[in-house]
Amino acid sequence: MPLKTVLEAVREALFEEMRRDENVFVLGEDVGQRGGVFRVTEGLQKEFGEMRVLDTPLAESAIAGVAIGAAVRGMRPVAEFQFADFIHPAVEQIIDEAARFRYRSNNTFSCPVVFRAPYGGGVQGGMYHSQSVEAMFAMWPGLKVVTPSFPYDYKGLLKAAIRDNDPVVFFEHKKTYSLPSVKQEIPAGDYIVPLGKAKVVKEGTNLSVFAYGMMLHQSLQAARAMEQEGISVEVVDLRTLRPLDRETILNSVRKTGRAMIVHEANLFGGFGGEIAAIIAEEAFEWLDAPVRRLAGLDVPGMPFALALEEEFMPNPTKIADGMRQLAAY
């Protein structure tokens, strides 16, 4: 099996799902002729035509609304927001409409739509091309929110998202799109990774780290380095933020007694708070140390200048420091 990048995994899932089900279609800015600004949708329009791979006007609320309307009619739209930063104009459609169709109609209407959005920084994207906005969506019942880390999961989870009967916000960390170190062997054919399941990607006994996206990879790197220092770190790839796999999280903390959460989004009000709160409430008796969060700095957007961007970001060194401190507590 050839090694594939995250980007190839996402693209493969789209190709396969569009072939499998003619109700699946893709829409967004520049997704057609251009193949997406990241080239994720490259080749799709050639195979499936302009109707099923639709270049939209620059209008995010319409991208969401049109996708929702088509989903209510039984289609399976996959709407792309060019950057997660630009999903904001569609917030009303996503949280008031997509997330509520089933509940508000007492199960007589549903809205099986996927919203894809490249997120995250470390690519000198500056204040408006680096945002991690997962917490803003994970807080809404009715939505599912997916943040894979590995190519295998990107493909399997995107397929699951497209087949899911409820709306899914699918975040793709743009820095990992083509990162060679993140490549993985993935099967060419059909497989599903179920939504809502976290995965222990490295077992350990001294402390547990919970992460997703780029930070999962950096945590893993730090965790491996810790081995040499005799600190055994368990790393859990959350994969889905909503529904959150509480069981896997709590099992891990109950085993190690120490928990650390890493994300790139800024700390205060970020998704880490929810995980920390769950652990603090439900694994209280097992905790040997305070639950620690490591996250992006609390500034209004990741700055552009390299020196500032680096300062903003968690990284393997900062994560390793955190691990040491936590293990030593």
Ligand X SMILES: Cc1ncc(C[n+]2csc(CCOP(=O)(O)OP(=O)(O)O)c2C)c(N)n1
The residue among 78 and 260 lying less far from a second copy, judged by its C-beta, is 260
R_g over Cα of the chain? 19
Q: Per CB under 8 A, does 68 bind another protein? A: yes
Instruction: Name which of another protein, ligand X, a second copy, none residue 75 binds, using a CB cut-off of 5 to 8 Å depending on partner kind.
Output: another protein
Residues contacting residue 44 through CB under 8 Å, at least 6 positions apart? 11, 14, 15, 18, 26, 31, 32, 35, 52, 53
Nearer to a second copy, 63 or 279 (CB): 279
- Scanning the chain, the segments in alpha helix (DSSP H) are 6-20, 44-52, 60-72, 91, 101-104, 134-138, 151-163, 214-227, 246-256, 272-282, 306-312, 316-328
Please say which residue, 12 or 60, places its beta carbon nearer to ligand X.
60
**3-state secondary structure string, 218-237?**
HHHHHHHHHHCCCCCEEEEE
d(Cα 70, Cα 64) in Å, to the nearest integer? 10
Rounded Cα distance between 268 and 256, Å, is: 25
Of residues 160 and 186, the one with the C-beta less far from another protein: 160
Instruction: Give whichever of 69 and 89 is closer to ligand X, judged by the CB atom.
Output: 89
Query: Would you tell me which residues interact with a second copy (CB under 8 A)?
Result: 61, 85, 88-89, 91-92, 95-96, 99-100, 103-104, 127-128, 135-136, 138-142, 242, 244, 266, 268-274, 276-277, 279-282, 284, 287, 289-293, 298-301
- Which of the choices a second copy, ligand X, another protein, none does residue 306 contact, using the CB cut-off of 5 to 8 A by kind? another protein
- What DSSP element (H or E) covers 202? strand 199-202
CA distance 251 to 254: 5
Residues 105-164 that bind ligand X (CB under 6 A): none
- Write down the catalytic residue from 88, 129, 217, 263: 129
Q: How many residues bind ligand X (CB under 6 A)?
A: 6
Binding partner of residue 140 among a second copy, another protein, ligand X, none, CB cut-off 5 to 8 Å per kind: a second copy
SS3 content of the chain, % helix, strand, coil (to 5): 45, 20, 35
Least distance from a second copy to the Cβ atom of residue 228, Å: 27
Distance CA 230, CA 238 (A): 25
Show the site string, 18-47: x = touches ligand X by CB under 6 A, - = not: -----------x------------------
Residues near ligand X (CB under 6 A): 29, 58, 60, 82, 86, 89
